[in-house]
A and B are shown apart, each in its own frame.
Chain A
Amino acid sequence: MRAPSKPYATARAGGIPVSAGQAGADLPLDPKGTRQRWLGLKIAVAVALWVGAYGQLGRFAGWLTYDVFDLGRHTHLGSSVDFFVTDVPKIFLLLAGIIPVVSVIRSFIPPEKVRKVVAGKGELAGTVLAALLGTVTPFCSCSAVPMFIGFLESGLPLGVTFAFLIASPVVNEVALVMLAGLFGVKIALLYVGLGLVVAIVGGTVIGRLHLESQVEDYVYKIKMGEALTTHLTFEQRLADAVSYTKDILRRVFPWVLGGIVFGAAIHGYAPTAFVAHYAGRGNPLAVPMVVIIAIPLYSNAAGTIPIVQALIQKGLPMGTTLAFMMAITAISTPEMVILRKVIKPKLIAVFITVVTLAIIMIGYVFNAVL
């Protein structure tokens, strides 16, 4: 996987921070036009290398699996290795291509701005908007609490805030890219659509229950200052995007590896008949069963994908599988521990119940439609 992804990574990662480093120091000597042309050239080279590497992926994987390792095309090991050398580099290359683009876009919609935009809307429009914005905002355990407080502080209803809190971990560009890469764009878009539905429905229901008293008292006492929005140049946004991408790839890597090991274990050891019997179409309670198994589990979206892939090969229907994936990412023990700082146990219980029910419903709908 190193070979195809490396030229791209070097071109982008090595190139842009240098130009950002020169930005301040060389300003008087280096007219802006020249710097912009350089930046444009670097981006063009990076894109060209990326496209070239992506085009060669299939050939590279086939060569490595069947010529270098000399594995049979239909053997168990052959197909596992093929997954490893085809899909994993593909996923990482896609991530390396999509994340910088998304993070540059994202740098124009910081949460401080989001809360102002959403605050002016009615409850329903606000909920939909908050869910949409949640999809482009990465859920980070260190930002969940400040975001939660910031939303409530600007007068947003609890339901709108929860729509954001549900959408943020469930729907993100990493999950989108991986699903599109492995199962096709249709499944990826369906997942995003369903994630939004869960966020909007969940947020609306929580809003209707009027649980404002279940938010820790100190939350409403916090007064936020007025943020001085610091202006960023395009170069800065790009440099941030590159360093963010490197950070994500580094962090996603162990999860994907772990997911592959777990996926391979399912692949190799879980008897197909067993999985199909308990979690397949024949069992009407399969969806709630897998969702309840998934709730305490924690992984980011990236880590669930190889597991999801193995489960589908074992004959799990798509709806059951996506419900499983959603339940892993939407509700997790660490996230609940963080949220406990701002909300009381009763609201946590409501949150878990509402989101679980919404996911189960969606699993059934998906199984019925596909």
Chain B
Amino acid sequence: MNVKILGTGCANCRRLEGLVKEVASEAGLQLDIEKVTEIPAIMSYGIMHTPGLVIDGELKASGRVPARAEITEWLSPR
């Protein structure tokens, strides 16, 4: 699974990254985590509010740090 964290390095972006890593290691998932820090790249996802979370090319959340349960659900294999 490819996960992108969109953000310029703010506190919430780091929190989101930590949360994703935690969920992944608890579930034993192998994630390909990518940090997108360049503004033009972040904005190509249409968001004006960081952090953003993109899972397999799909924007899941923007402007908020989603709850652990939400991240778990998004990352669970279907």
Q: Footprint of B on A, CB under 8 Å?
A: 17, 20-25, 107, 110-112, 115, 140-143, 145-147, 149-150, 153, 218, 221-228, 230, 236, 239-240, 243, 341
Chain B contacts of A228 at CB under 8 A? Answer: 46, 58-59
Chain B contacts of A107 at CB under 8 A? Answer: 64
Q: Are A143 and B69 in contact (CB under 8 A)?
A: no
Q: Are A110 and B49 in contact (CB under 8 A)?
A: yes
Number of residues on chain B facing chain A (CB within 8 A): 31
Q: Are A222 and B40 in contact (CB under 8 A)?
A: yes
Q: Are B59 and A240 in contact (CB under 8 A)?
A: no
Interface string of B46-59 (1 = CB under 8 A from A): 11111000000011
Q: Are B69 and A224 in contact (CB under 8 A)?
A: no
Complex Cα–Cα for A28 and B51 (A): 31
Chain A contacts of B62 at CB under 8 A? Answer: 110, 112, 227, 230
Chain B contacts of A142 at CB under 8 A? Answer: 7-10, 12-13, 50
Inter-chain pairs besides A111-B48, A218-B40, A227-B62, 9 sampled, C-beta below 8 Å: A21-B69, A25-B69, A110-B49, A112-B62, A142-B7, A149-B48, A223-B43, A223-B44, A230-B61
The answer to whether residues A21 and B49 also contact, given A142-B8, A227-B62 and a CB cut-off of 8 A, is no
Q: Are B44 and A225 in contact (CB under 8 A)?
A: yes
Chain B contacts of A226 at CB under 8 A? Answer: 46
Chain B contacts of A240 at CB under 8 A? Answer: 64-65, 67
Q: Are A230 and B59 in contact (CB under 8 A)?
A: yes
Complex Cα–Cα for A227 and B47 (A): 6
B22: interface (CB < 8 Å)? no
Complex Cα–Cα for A111 and B49 (A): 7
Most buried by A among B59, B69, B70: B69
Q: Report A238 CB to chain B, min CB distance, Å.
A: 11
Partner of A21, one of B47, B58, B68: B68
Partner of A222, one of B9, B39, B70: B39
Q: Are A146 and B42 in contact (CB under 8 A)?
A: yes
Chain A contacts of B63 at CB under 8 A? Answer: 110-111, 143
The answer to whether residues A227 and B40 also contact, given A110-B63, A141-B10 and a CB cut-off of 8 A, is no
Q: Are B43 and A225 in contact (CB under 8 A)?
A: yes
Complex Cα–Cα for A147 and B9 (A): 16
Partner of B48, one of A21, A150, A221: A150
The answer to whether residues A149 and B44 also contact, given A24-B69, A227-B59 and a CB cut-off of 8 A, is no
Q: Are A115 and B39 in contact (CB under 8 A)?
A: no
